[in-house]
Amino acid sequence: MATLDDIDVGSSMTLVSLNGARTLRRRLMELGLLPGTQIRLVRRNHVGGFVEVEVRRSRVSLRLSEARNLQVTGVTS
Amino acid sequence: MIGPLTQRRTIVVAGNPNTGKSTLFNALTGGSVKVGNYPGITVERHAGTLRLPDLTTAELVDCPGTYSLSARSHEEFLALEAVAGLPPIGRPDLVVVVVDATQITRNLYLTLQIIELGLPVVVALNMVDQLQSAGITIDAAAMAKALGVPVVPVVARNGTGVDQLKRQIAAILHAPQRVRPSWNWRPRSAKLRADVDAVSAKIPDAWADGDLERRDALALWAMLSLDDEDELRDVPTELRAVVRERRATADADGRELEREIIQSRYDWIDAHEAEFVRQTRQVTRFSDRIDRVLLHPAGGFLLFLAIMTFLFQALFTLADPLIGWIEDAFAFGQAALRDAMAPGLFADFLVDGVIAGIGAFVVFLPQILILFLFLGIMEDSGYMARVAVLMDRVMRAMRLNGRAFVPLLSGYACAIPAILATRTMDRQRDRLLTMLVIPLMTCSARLPVYGLLIAAIVPPGDRAPLQQGLLMTAMYVFATLMALVVALVLGRTMLKGPRVPLVIEMPPYRLPQARIVLRSMWQQGREFMTKAGTIILACSIAMWLLLTFPRDVTLSRDFGAERAILEATLRTSTTGDLADLEQRIAALDAEELGERTRASYAGRIGHVIEPALTPLGFDWRVGIGILGAFAAREVFVSTMGIVFGIGSDADPEDALLRARLRAATWPDGRTLFTPLVCLSLMIFFALACQCMSTLAVIARETRGWRWPAFTFVYMTALAWLLSFAVYQGGRALGFA
């Protein structure tokens, strides 16, 4: 199992669980990032400190530090 | 034939951000938008009139764009308040949910949430023209069947489908009971059912409005929204208590309430979406290619800086000629009015008080319009969401969010448009903190003051230009550092807020629409002129009164008699030096104006505050200048011109003004404007809130005088303390 912040760009994977603050989890889930959802890492910007994921046909950006709270599995490039 | 509706109906337009909601809103209302505010908060409320095919009208209300009705702050609560029509608003008759067809899955989440509230709903399936390039097909009829609510495909940009949407709206208003949604929220487990029942029981009756389904929907909202950290007002304590208790029980049981509720909606979407959405082919988003550049770890920042440099340049180079024209037009109007009227106090009041006061706020218009043109383009194209993530790390260090960058940068041009630009920020706390820091940015009105004082500090010589330049740069750096410190301190104390996670959608890039951008630009400009403008006008007139009254002061000489003699000579002399005579009259006028100003209420205030100014090295005449500078900082220069008897049109390069300032002394003969005093005065001007327009705009934006009062007090206190430290420290080190 890995966390979203250290996945290679372009990889697809399945979200397993979300940790962290309740507001963060609620926001992610309402945007469709629920456990069991298939997602893809589109971009990682180390300078700006954020990642972008594709989920259910739309794009969501979040901080790298917050991406650490997303556990994923089945990573395929 | 159905007769026209008798009662005026209310329709709410809701939807995710970036779905073309505003475009559709404008298409439905024909642009007849009234911009107001939600009560007690500075979020704009747009309302307009919708004319239906049967000639009846309804009020259309634009709800703030949101991904969900769940809320943790009061401004997020507005979406629920508007859509559900919580008291005192009253339930709307219909909700139009605007859905971006290319992002349909995520948009369906909000749609389901709104349907749960049991209100008549019409889905406006927008941007259907872009489906093909996105490789998606949507069967609107099948979608309507699956949801149980009407679905109308539209292209808001060119008006396609808007008439059908209007017909559909009219049909539902006449027969609301015909809409029978097939989506109903049903708990999947008995445990969750018990949770919802327990919370439902504590939903206020006024919210539920006698509707059980609505009561359950509001209970779901409460379970997602309420916790110990939320910033919601007006939530009953027992509702909070039951949510806290139920969540604790569920946690202990290894269940997660939020996940169960949200999952149930996405389960429906996953199960039914295939009935009406088909992905025909995978396409690389055009936006991805743009983002490869605009969000590049290195190139993205460089391009952002380049765009910001261009914006900043435009604020000066594009606005300057316009400001020049406005000033010329007002000067022409003032001269014409003065010629047309009999000389006297009333003419002075109209020309120097009223017209000058109107000019005082109209000059801000070019920069406001240019800034909002840029902001509109950035917002409408989808770039603003990128700015928010790009600048997040930098601005977070200042306890601000990424969207604060553009307003802060604009503050280096002028605080007035910059404070208005904070409207692009959605969190009130972030907005307020940005607004309080903006006036510390070195705005262009400070430059003439610095110019005058730097010339007094740096002795003329070969190296003077370099030294003057360095001093000017140092002032910029100093003010920026102070702004950083103030943001850090305020962000940790008075405006301490919980850290909010950054989770934002990156909308596809879209070509900004001229109509939408220009309309919002015009609305902002008009609102500034009518609302903030009147406050600035009132302040300008008050300043004029302070500097002009009282009139019956004893003067040192009989200026009237001396002027009469000179004017008589001027009339009779045919050969003498006319230019010399005119100059002597002008000098006499300037002397009289200076004497009257020194004796005015402003002069008396200067004397009263002198004890507070001497520790900084200033005398009462500088005090008059500081008071006069409230009209606008650069007015300090002309006020000093008036006070030192050389007339009201002095500029920083004026040799006579410089000479008079150099010669000015304290009563005991010490030089007044030593280099140390000038430095102390520059520090004072860098930090003090010498600008009534800034305070007026903060008052307007925060709906009250509490925050402008705070801004004035903290900035003046900071300015006084640092000027004091510089002046007294400099003296202790042996500088004059």
Q: Which residue of A has its CA nearest to B282?
A: A57
Alpha helices (H) in B273-298, listed in sequence order: 286-294
pLDDT, tens only, B492-531: 998 887 778 889 899 989 888 888 889 888 888 888 888 7
* Tens digits of residue pLDDT in B382-420: 898 999 999 999 888 888 888 899 999 999 989 999 999
Tell if the CB–CB gap between B389 and A57 is shorter than 8 Å: no
pLDDT in tens, B583-638: 888 888 888 888 888 889 988 999 999 999 999 999 999 999 998 888 888 889 88
Sort out which chain A residues have CB atoms less than 8 A from B103's CB and list them: 57-58
Mean pLDDT of B199-205: 95
In a 3-state reduction of DSSP, which class is residue B261?
helix
How many Cβ atoms are within 10 Å of B254's Cβ, its own excluded?
6
- Tokens at B101, concatenated: 């067809």
Domain boundaries, chain A: 2-76
Q: CB distance A26–B102 less than 8 Å?
A: no
The tokens for B573 are: 């002399």
Give residue-wise pLDDT tens across range B627-668: 888 888 888 988 888 888 877 777 788 888 888 888 888 988
Pairwise CB contact (< 8 Å): A42 & B505: no
Distances in Å between the Cα of B370 and the Cα atoms of B318, B326, B364, B421, B519 are 8, 15, 10, 11, 13
- Please give the distance of CA B319 from its chain centroid, rounded to a whole number: 19
Q: Does A68 touch chain B (CB under 8 A)?
A: no
Q: Which residues sit opposite A52 in a β-bridge?
A: A43, A61
How do B121-126 and B151-153 pair as beta strands? parallel
Helices (H), B229-318: 237-252, 257-272, 286-294, 299-317
- Per DSSP, helices labelled H in B44-138 are 74-80, 104-116, 131-134
Per 3-state DSSP, chain B is made up of helix, strand and coil in percentages (nearest 5) of 65, 10, 30
Instruction: Report the CATH fold assignment for B11-178.
Output: Rossmann fold (3.40.50)
Mutate to test the interface with B, among A12, A42, A56, A64 (most CBs of B within 10 A): A56
Three-state DSSP state, B514: helix
CATH of A2-76, one of 3.90.1200.10, 2.60.40.1930, 3.40.50.300, 2.30.30.90: 2.30.30.90
Q: Which of A29, A32, A55 sits opposite B258 (nearest CB)?
A: A29
Sequential DSSP letters for B593-650: HHHHHHHSHHHHHHHHHHHHHGGGT--HHHHHHHHHTTS-TTHHHHHHHHHTTS-S--
Q: How far apart are the first and last CA of chain A?
A: 15
Q: How confident is the model at residue B41 (pLDDT cuts 50, 70, 90)?
A: low
Contact B138, B276 (CB under 8 A): yes
pLDDT value, residue B3: 52
A70 to chain B nearest CA, in Å?
13
Q: Do A62 and B392 touch (CB under 8 A)?
A: no
Strand partners, B23: none
For B467: left if phi > 0, alpha if psi spans -120 to 50, otherwise beta; the answer is alpha
Reply yes or no on whether the pLDDT at B573 is more than 90. Answer: no
- Nearest CA to B404 out of B390, B108, B416 is that of B390
Query: In angstroms, rounded to a whole number, what is the distance separating the alpha carbons of residues B137 and B575?
Result: 92
Which residue's entry shows tokens 């008036």?
Answer: B642
Tokens 């934006």 correspond to: B701
pLDDT in tens, B233-252: 889 999 999 999 999 999 99
The amino acid sitting at B95 is V
Nearest to B247 by CA among B216, B212, B222: B222
What is the distance between the alpha carbons of residues A44 and A5, in angstroms, rounded to a whole number? 8
Q: Where residue B6 falls among pLDDT bands split at 50, 70, 90?
A: low
The residue with tokens 């009020």 is B59
| Long-range contacts, B288-297 (Cβ 8 Å, 24+) | B288/A42, B290/B509, B291/A43, B291/A52, B291/B386, B291/B506, B294/B383, B294/B386, B295/A43, B295/A45, B295/A48, B295/A52, B295/B386, B295/B389, B295/B390, B296/A45, B297/A45, B297/A46, B297/A47, B297/A48
Contact A48 B297 (CB under 8 A): yes
Task: Tell me the domain boundaries of chain B.
Answer: 11-178, 190-279
pLDDT per residue as tens digits for the range B281-290: 888 778 899 9
Exposure on the CB side of residue B618, measured as CA atoms within 13 A: 30
Enter the tokens of residue B476.
């910029």
ipTM: 0.96
Report yes or no: B80 and B38 within 8 Å, Cβ to Cβ: no
State chain B's mean pLDDT as an integer: 89
Kindly state the average pLDDT of the residues B315-326: 89
Q: B505 contacts in A (CB within 8 Å)?
A: 31, 58-61
By three-state DSSP, how is residue B552 classified?
coil
Residue B58 near residue B192 (C-beta atoms within 8 A): no
Question: Chain A partners of B109 at a C-beta cutoff of 8 Å?
Answer: 30, 32
Rounded mean pLDDT, B195-215: 93
String of DSSP letters for chain A:
-EEGGGSPTT-EEEEEEE-S-HHHHHHHHHTT--TT-EEEEEEEETTTTEEEEEETTEEEEEEHHHHTTEEEEEEE-
Find residue A43's DSSP bridge partners.
A52
Q: Are B28 and B50 in contact (CB under 8 A)?
A: yes
pLDDT computed for residue B476 by the predictor:
92
Give CA–CA dist A23/B225, Å, rounded.
9
Quick one: closest CA in A to B387, which residue?
Answer: A48
Taking the alpha carbons at both ends of chain B, their separation in whole angstroms is 92
Both tokens of residue B529? 């002129």
Query: A residues 7-66 near B, CB within 8 Å?
Result: 20-32, 34-35, 42-43, 45-50, 52, 55-63, 66
Q: Give the integer Cα–Cα distance in Å for A3 and A15.
A: 9
